[in-house]
Structure 1
Amino acid sequence: MSNNMNNKSAELTRAFIAYMLPLDLAATIYKKVRRFDSVRDDSDARWVPPQNYHLTLRFLGLCSETQLETVAEQLEQQMTDFESFVCMSGGLEFFPNYNHPKVMSLKIHSGRRMDDLHRVCEQIAVNSGCAEDKRLFRPHVTLARARHFEMSELKEPSRPNIVPVFDRLPGYRLQVGEIALVASELTSEGSRYKVLRSIPLQPMR
């Protein structure tokens, strides 16, 4: 288990709770999506490196050391009764919408266990002093960001509203057996993540 929270600091840390994809699976997804050439070479897309692939369960924002300790301790307590589970990925999604996409992501099918995990993380965040997040939980893994994606290559004349790559992207099996409290540093080259604490879920029965 990783634990890099021993050094006390008065500085605030940008943090979130997430499921980090295994690197081998993340690398497979990265290669598959890039092979589609769905974003032209002249686009301004910034691809997320596979080692940063994650599913955010709760964004915490700027946290004090005390808040991070509280979140980590509560996660460890709650996960002693939370069983590991499996979920499946879906196709590609574009945010805020397909007509004006800024973010390309991999959809993750949400089931009861994923929703339960999100609710636990939400309650822990509120208990630690975060404001309640009333937005709809839409599990996904961000793959790329851009001011504008070139979408013309994704359309077919006979199916102008359908993105062909949706049909060609296989579903991937995600074994959720561990979650993490992660620190995020924003840089000119993108986000840098550091796992502050890894919290295992219980083995599947």
Structure 2
Amino acid sequence: MERNTHYFYALKLPVEIKLHLQKICTSLKDELPFKSWVHHEDYHVTLAFLGNADPKRLLDSIQYVRKAVTAQPSFSLMIDHLGVFGKSDSPRIFWAGTEKSQDLHHLRGQVFQACQKSGFILETRPFHPHITLARRWSGTNSFKPDFLEKIEILDFHACEVVLYETHLEKVPKYEVKETFLLSK
């Protein structure tokens, strides 16, 4: 295991949604000087961040998550807005957000509990489902969020949770280690 290897469970996005988000980002890059833009293959919705994980707890989490996720029905989900985390004039994270979804919150709760059952201590901040698009504002002018409302609604069928391993030195940097299909 690499020293800086981290693991997390996420809702996997369909390829066509990732490509559509990539087009949105490409059209915004010139007017939004962020230091780094996320590679489109790395777009996802994080459900539980594990950090560095010992093999035993990781294997336990895989078993518990598989049991929880395969009992969860797949569902429709929409990406319907853009937003930022951090200072409004110099944001840390630029993201695309999902609609409010009880199904997504329930899925996140199932994955979260499975990871806790495996011995992981997870962040307890409220769940704000989002897809990180860019990081670290580097503009000389203040960030102007007037365009955040101008996003075409993207809808898709959420049917897959994955365990990702992070490789900081690679692009894309997330590698799928396990895949869990929701029930039909």
Give me the TM-score of the superposition, normalised by structure 1: 0.80
Q: Does 1:126 align with 2:116?
A: yes
**Residue aligning to 1:117:** 107
* Equivalent residue, structure 1, for 2:166: 184
Change (3 A) 1:45 1:198: same
Structure 1 spans left out of the alignment, 5+ residues? 1-8, 156-162
- Which one has the largest radius of gyration? 1
Deviates more, 1:189-198 or 1:168-177: 189-198
Consecutive unaligned residues in structure 2, runs of 5 or more: none
Q: Output the amino acid matched with 1:104.
A: F
Kindly indicate whether residue 7 of structure 2 is the aligned counterpart of residue 26 of structure 1.
no
CA shift, 1:95, in A, is: 1.0
Q: 1:190–1:123: structure 2 CA closer, same or farther, 3 Å change rule?
A: same
Which residue of structure 1 aligns with residue 152 of structure 2?
170
Q: Deviation digits for residues 103-125 of structure 1, max 9, x if unmatched?
A: 11001123111111111111111
- Whether 2:16 is the aligned partner of 1:35: answer no
Give the TM-score, by structure 2 length: 0.89
Identity %: 23
Number of equivalent positions? 184
Tell me how large the CA RMSD over aligned residues is: 2.3
Is the alpha carbon distance of 1:67 and 1:33 closer, same or farther for their aligned partners in structure 2, counting shifts above 3 Å?
same
How far apart, in 2, do the equivalents of 1:150 and 1:87 lie?
36
The answer as to 2:49 corresponding to 1:59 is: yes
Q: Distance between the aligned counterparts of 1:100 and 1:89, measured in 2? A: 23
